[in-house]
């Protein structure tokens, strides 16, 4: 049962937004400050509470980490008192939370639909921009015992990564994906005393010595191997291109498309043209892909969203626009001050 969409009123950067997701791959593009990460975090929070049993507003606070952990700071900033509402949809289920900008405690929010929402758990993973596995030893216990200023997505991803491998034989589709990843990272991941290592023919290499881009693919290997990324689960990945060599974009997108075909709902935020083009070039006819362009409406100044199932339909495309600008300047330079 995939996440069908969200409806937001005065939540963080959004004045009013309604978005319908694809059950397959959802790709968000947009300039900085248009709310891509906020959308991913919001939907992740709604998914996570079905397993962690944390209250939805409390999870929002932990994931967004507003100053003083004051829930009301997640309301879009306005001079007057105001109330925000977030709604997340899954088939006929609706999870709703509303709160005012004066709300200090998460418990002061009004939540509806949480009981039914939690009755059908959904496995979810949020991979943040910053890589965490190399900093893992001791982080979880530190996070559990102390008030350290880290968004909960960092502790959550380690919880998922530390899960032991699934029992029993590995189905062939999952085996193929693991083998494919093992070829790229040239090894498999092992965990010793909370520390991650890449085990290859040369021995065990600690993650802190492994290229950062490869750590990301190693994390995906772990999540597939331990059964976190299985049919029915949801993957959120913020800027997967960070620290990854562009030559690995193709294999990365292949993996995401394969996961999507096996029933994993994927949410991706990217600034990278090549990531978008790899999706466009590697997609197959039946792949369920939707691109979302988040942008500031020129009239209202508010963030709006345009959806398209086709790469060429992304509009406005902040990533391609940046290329167009560079290209135009390159042409001008190549023409060497041509008189018009």
Contact assessment for residue 276 and residue 244, using Cβ atoms and an 8 Å cutoff = no
At residue 252, the 3 state secondary structure works out as: helix
Number of residues that bind other proteins (CB under 8 A): 19
Cross-strand partners of 340: none
CB-count exposure of residue 147 (10 Å: 0-12, 13-18, 19+): exposed
The one segment of 8-16, 36-44, 163-171, 317-325 that binds other proteins by CB under 8 A = 317-325
We find the least distance from the C-beta atom of residue 317 to other proteins, in angstroms, to be: 9
Record the tokens describing residue 117, joined without a space.
């929402």
Q: Residue 306 interacts with other proteins (CB under 8 A)?
A: no
Secondary structure element (H or E) that encloses residue 203, with its range: strand 203-206
Closest CB to other proteins among residues 67, 334? 334
Minimum distance, C-beta of residue 278 to other proteins, in the bound complex (Å): 12
78 binds other proteins (CB under 8 A): no
**Mask 216-255, x = binds other proteins (CB under 8 A)?**
----------------------------------------
Instruction: Decide if 241 contacts 270 (C-beta within 8 A).
Output: yes
For other proteins, the binding residues in 252-281 under the rule CB under 8 A are 273, 277
204 near other proteins, judged by CB under 8 A = no
339 binds other proteins, rule: CB under 8 A: yes
What angle do helix axes 212-225 and 152-161 make, rounded to 10 degrees?
Answer: 60
Pick the binder of other proteins from 81, 312, 313, 315 (CB under 8 A).
312
Q: Does 332 bind other proteins (CB under 8 A)?
A: yes
From the list 44-52, 89-97, 137-145, 331-339, the region that binds other proteins by CB under 8 A is: 331-339
Token couple for 85: 């509402």
Pairing of strands 265-269, 110-112: unpaired
**313 touching other proteins, by CB under 8 A:** no
**Nearest residue (CB) to other proteins, 168 versus 336:** 336
**Piece of 31-39, 149-157, 167-175, 316-324 that binds other proteins (CB under 8 A):** 316-324
What's the burial of 88, exposed, middle or buried (CB within 10 Å: 0-12/13-18/19+)? buried
d(Cα 106, Cα 116) in Å, to the nearest integer? 20
Does 320 contact other proteins by CB under 8 A?
A: yes
Residue carrying the six token digits 């997701």: 21
Is residue 324 within the footprint of other proteins (CB under 8 A)? yes
Closest listed residue to residue 10, CA positions, set 104, 93, 81, 77: 77
Binding site for other proteins (CB under 8 A): 273, 277, 312, 320, 323-324, 326-328, 330-336, 338-340
């Amino acid at each position: 049962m995939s996440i069908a969409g969200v409806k937001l009123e005065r939540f963080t950067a959004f004045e009013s937004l309604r978005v319908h997701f694809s059950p397959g791959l959802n790709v968000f593009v947009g300039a900085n400050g248009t709310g891509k990460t906020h959308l991913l975090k919001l939907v992740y929070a709604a998914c996570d509470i079905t397993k962690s049993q944390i209250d939805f507003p409390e999870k929002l606070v932990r994931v967004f980490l507003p100053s003083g952990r004051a829930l009301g700071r997640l309301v879009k900033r306005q001079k007057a008192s105001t109330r925000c509402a977030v709604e997340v949809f899954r088939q006929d289920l609706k999870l709703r939370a509303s709160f005012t900008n004066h709300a200090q405690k998460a418990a002061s929010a009004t939540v509806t639909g949480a009981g039914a929402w939690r009755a059908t758990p959904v496995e979810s993973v949020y991979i943040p921009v910053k890589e965490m596995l190399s900093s893992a030893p001791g982080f979880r216990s530190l996070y559990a015992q102390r008030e350290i200023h880290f968004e909960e997505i960092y502790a959550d991803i380690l919880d998922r990564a530390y899960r032991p491998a699934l029992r029993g034989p590995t189905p062939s589709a999952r085996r193929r994906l693991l083998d494919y990843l093992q070829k790229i990272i040239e090894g498999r991941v092992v965990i010793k005393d909370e520390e991650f290592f890449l085990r290859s023919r040369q021995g065990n290499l600690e993650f802190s010595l492994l290229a950062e881009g490869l750590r990301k693919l190693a994390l995906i290997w772990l999540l597939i191997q331990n059964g976190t990324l299985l049919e029915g689960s949801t993957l959120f990945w913020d800027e997967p291109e960070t620290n990854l060599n562009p030559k690995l974009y193709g294999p990365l997108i292949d993996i995401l498309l394969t996961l999507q075909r096996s029933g994993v709902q994927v949410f991706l935020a990217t600034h990278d043209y090549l990531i978008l083009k790899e999706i466009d070039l590697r997609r197959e006819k039946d792949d369920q892909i939707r691109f979302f362009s988040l942008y500031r409406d020129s009239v209202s100044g508010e963030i709006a969203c345009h959806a398209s199932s086709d790469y060429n339909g992304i509009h406005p495309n902040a990533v391609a626009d940046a290329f167009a600008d560079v290209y135009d300047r390159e042409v001008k330079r190549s023409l060497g001050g041509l008189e018009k």
